[in-house]
Amino acid sequence: MKTTLNELGQPVGELVKDWVVPEEPSRATIKGQYCSLELLNSAAHSSALFEAYSEDQTGTGWTYMPYGPFQKPEAFQDWVTDLSAKSDPLFVAVVDAVSGEAVGMASFMRITPLMGTIEIGHIHFSPKLQGTTAATEALYLMIDHIFSLGYRRCEWKCDALNKASRKAALRLGFTFEGVFRQAVIVKGRNRDTAWFSIVDHEWPLLSQSFQTWLAAGNFSADGLQKQRLSELIASDIAKKQ
């Protein structure tokens, strides 16, 4: 990146030209091929979500979340009702296109339009959703929506010990930025937080890789992928260099 100097000869950041403050994330349903993102609603989603999460009988999916697990549907429904009233984090339910049932949730959070930054977090996919094409598409839809609104930076943060989340961030094309030590206390335990990001000028190329991966032609008749997303991203980046 070219170094910019001010009138005193000091290095300064480049001017952000023609900057337009983006809108906050939409509350409208965002539709994909394999799933849709619906604004979280207790009446519409809590029953299906509780059932989907109940397939995680050990509760390991809740380990790195600041809440849960929930043993009773009534407690879970009350919790979802509280979440549904929030605007930041703004929670969405991931609804499977085939079954029409909610099988996971996530949120847009730390929404800062003036700085053009936003985070996707509280990502909790049930066993029904984990490892599926819909799971990848759900995150693609969230990131694509963020950059289509004009945000400059999309963040992903997780417990530094959460290997699965860190692996997922890298697979999706996020860049690891470092670890904030003793960032927060979660469930009475220390949490060092790993930071990842995608910035706006990176998204067009990453989006192209996602679209190629999500295309029907990338999957065999039994649903197995022909090319890995990480391979497509690496290949597309190499072509641009």
Q: H/E/C letters for each residue in the chain?
A: CCCEECCCCCEECCCCCCCCCCCCCCCCCEECCCEEEEECCHHHHHHHHHHHHHCCCCCHHHCCCCCCCCCCHHHHHHHHHHHHCCCCCEEEEEEECCCCCEEEEEEEEEEECCCCEEEEEEEEECCCCCCCHHHHHHHHHHHHHHHHCCCCEEEEEEECCCHHHHHHHHHCCCEEEEEEEEEEEECCEEEEEEEEEEEHHHHHHHHHHHHHHHCHHHECCCCCECCCHHHHHHHHHHHHC
For residue 123, is pLDDT > 80? yes
Q: What is the pLDDT of the chain when averaged over all its residues? A: 95
Residue 3 is predicted with a pLDDT of 84
pLDDT tens, residue by residue, 170-209: 999 999 999 999 999 999 999 999 999 999 999 999 999 9
For residue 2, is pLDDT > 80?
no
pLDDT of 133 reads: 95
pLDDT tens per residue, range 168-181 = 999 999 999 999 99
Locate the domains of the chain by residue range.
21-240
Per-residue model confidence (pLDDT) at position 1:
63
- Over 90: is that where the pLDDT of 121 sits? yes
Is the predicted pLDDT of residue 236 greater than 80, yes or no? Answer: no
22-78 per-position pLDDT tens digit: 999 999 999 999 999 999 999 999 999 999 999 999 999 999 999 999 999 999 999
CATH number for 21-240 (one of 3.40.1740.10, 3.30.40.10, 3.30.70.2660, 3.40.630.30): it is 3.40.630.30
